[in-house]
């Protein structure tokens, strides 16, 4: 029996407020330690996980896409660790368990990996797209596996054909049952649809423009999944009486709004789901509105604890403070982390607004918003996003955000910028 993985929670903030000030901002960094004893070994992954590979088998997946989907699924299966439960789901307007063929799941070993790989070669493209039905079956399978990390990879190349209400109900019912990384192959799928799934199920979304790149991508996704050691962790935030939590956002490695996912867990405290964890570090921006104080007053503006959902066992904890001062050199300082991640969140919003305006034919708004994105990317050193923006706009002057919309932009470049708009870089000089 191994000891539970250990976490650390650190808080970056300027705790000084001007007299009468009420807004408290902090960047909370949560890290699962690779090493808490001086060694170099990460916590050992548990063997009781569940992996589900969901493959779009609609008619549009014919030809090279289906060939690549088979190879990618086989590559993911090859990454499965012995002892992990797994299944492959073929998705059309319905969902069918391809392997194992009977209800239930298989336990990964050399034999079942070989059987599953052979069965995957039977995947054929014939039908429509019903993502909600796929999620429903995955939820049913996940419910039969209490405990352990439960994760899915979902691949599609097209737009969901279900009624929006039907899709929304299925997605809502899947929340908390498993995490899901979504991939869209080609350019005929909707970024917003897959982002809705990945966001609700605490996963990632990305485009794989060339089907031949699918296998490498699936291999990376499954490799990362095999490194997860805790199925569910929650950020528990206690705040003083009469305080208001303005927002709780994940800001690294990607922007994700967690504010509306709060569940009350006691007096003046609520839990925010963080999903499964391996040896990694993530940053969260917490903003709390407190009752204004006078010069010299000091309060605890928030207590951030890392817990397992439904448990009071604290894995790690950090404190957010507020101290009121009449020294403007103290109260006007802005935490480097807060400033950086506020800009990264604005960068994602500016990109999405600009692309939406471009699609709607509103060139002035598109130019202004994408220009703002260029300036933010340059200021923060987000070079990857800057390069993606340069495929959509001609940059005349990056610091001022002076740009010109490019003609002949490909759909691939637009969708790549959109899907990766929420990816952030860590604050310079930070962890």
Instruction: Please compute the mean of the pLDDT values over residues 217-225 and round it to a whole number.
Output: 97
DSSP 259: G
Is 7-32+231-246+257-333 a domain of CATH 3.40.50.300? Answer: no
Whether the pLDDT of residue 44 is over 60: the answer is no
Q: What is the DSSP letter of 254?
A: B
The mean pLDDT of 259-265, rounded to a whole number, is: 96
The segment(s) of the chain belonging to CATH 1.20.120.1690 are 337-419
* Cα within 13 Å of Cα(74), Cβ side: 15
Q: What's the half-sphere exposure (Cβ side, CA atoms, 13 Å) at 52?
A: 32
Specify the pLDDT at position 36: 37
> What would the mean pLDDT of 227-250 be, rounded to a whole number?
96
Burial class of 103 by CB neighbour count within 10 A (0 to 12, 13 to 18, 19+): exposed
| Mean pLDDT confidence for 87-106 | 95
pLDDT digits (tens, 9 = 90+) for 368-396: 999 999 999 999 999 999 999 999 999 99
Query: Is 2.60.40.10 the CATH number for 337-419?
Result: no
The closest of 99, 41, 53, 42 to 79, measured between CA atoms, is 53
User: What is the mean pLDDT of the segment spanning 187-215?
Assistant: 97
Tens of pLDDT, residues 154-179: 999 999 999 999 999 999 999 999 99
Domain(s) labelled CATH 3.40.50.410 in the chain stretch across 50-225
| Dihedral in degrees, nearest 10, Cα atoms 344, 348, 353, 355 | 130
Statement: residue 234 has pLDDT above 70? yes
Domain with CATH 2.60.40.3670 in the chain: 7-32+231-246+257-333
Pick the CATH number of 50-225 from 3.40.50.410, 3.20.20.70, 3.20.20.150, 3.10.20.600: 3.40.50.410
Token representation of residue 163: 């009624």
Q: What's the longest Cα–Cα distance across the chain?
A: 72
Residue 223 predicted with pLDDT over 60: yes
Instruction: Report in angstroms the alpha-carbon separations of 428 from 10, 337, 346, 380.
Output: 16, 9, 17, 8
Read off the pLDDT of residues 290-320 as tens digits, 9 standing for 90 and up.
999 999 999 999 999 999 887 889 999 999 9
Give the pLDDT score at 40: 39
- Token pair of 401 as six digits: 């955000």
Mean pLDDT of the chain: 94
CA of 172: how far to CAs of 81, 129, 166, in Å? 30, 18, 10
């Amino acid at each position: 029996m191994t000891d539970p993985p250990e976490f650390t929670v650190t808080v970056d903030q300027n705790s000084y407020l001007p007299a009468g000030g009420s807004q408290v901002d902090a960047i909370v960094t949560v890290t699962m330690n690779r090493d808490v004893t001086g060694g170099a070994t990460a916590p050992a992954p548990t063997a009781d996980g569940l992996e589900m590979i969901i493959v779009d088998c609609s008619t549009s997946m014919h030809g090279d896409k289906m060939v690549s989907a088979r190879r990618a699924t086989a590559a993911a299966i090859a990454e499965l660790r012995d002892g992990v439960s797994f299944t492959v789901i073929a998705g059309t307007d319905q969902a069918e368990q391809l392997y194992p063929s009977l209800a239930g799941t298989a336990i990964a070993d050399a034999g079942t990996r070989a059987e599953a790989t052979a069965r995957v070669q039977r995947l054929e493209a014939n039908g429509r797209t019903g993502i909600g039905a796929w999620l429903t079956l995955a939820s049913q399978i996940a419910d039969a596996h209490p405990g352990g990390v439960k994760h899915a990879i979902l691949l599609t190349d097209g737009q969901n054909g279900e009624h929006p209400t039907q899709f929304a109900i299925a997605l809502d019912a899947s929340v908390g049952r498993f995490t899901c990384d979504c991939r869209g192959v080609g350019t005929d799928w909707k970024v917003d649809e897959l982002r809705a799934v990945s966001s609700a199920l605490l996963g990632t979304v990305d485009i794989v423009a060339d089907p031949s790149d699918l296998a490498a991508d699936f291999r990376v996704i499954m490799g990362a999944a095999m490194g997860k050691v805790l199925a569910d962790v929650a950020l528990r935030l206690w705040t003083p009486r009469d305080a208001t939590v303005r927002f709780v956002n994940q800001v690294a490695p990607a922007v994700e709004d967690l504010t509306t996912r709060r569940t009350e867990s006691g007096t003046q405290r609520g839990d925010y789901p963080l999903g499964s964890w391996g040896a990694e570090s993530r940053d969260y921006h917490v903003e709390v509105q407190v009752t204004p104080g006078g010069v010299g007053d000091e309060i605890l503006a928030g207590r951030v604890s890392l817990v397992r959902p439904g448990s009071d066992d604290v894995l790690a904890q950090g404190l957010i403070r507020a101290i009121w001062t009449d020294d403007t050199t103290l109260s006007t300082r802005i935490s480097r982390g807060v400033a950086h991640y506020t800009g990264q969140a604005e960068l994602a919003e500016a990109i999405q607004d600009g692309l939406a305006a471009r699609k709607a034919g509103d060139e002035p708004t598109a130019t202004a918003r994408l220009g703002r994105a260029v300036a933010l990317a340059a200021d923060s050193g987000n070079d990857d996003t800057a390069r993606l923006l340069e495929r959509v706009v001609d940059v005349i002057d990056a610091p001022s955000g002076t740009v010109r919309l490019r003609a002949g932009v490909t759909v691939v470049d637009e969708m790549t910028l959109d899907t990766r708009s929420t990816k952030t870089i860590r604050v310079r000089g930070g962890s």
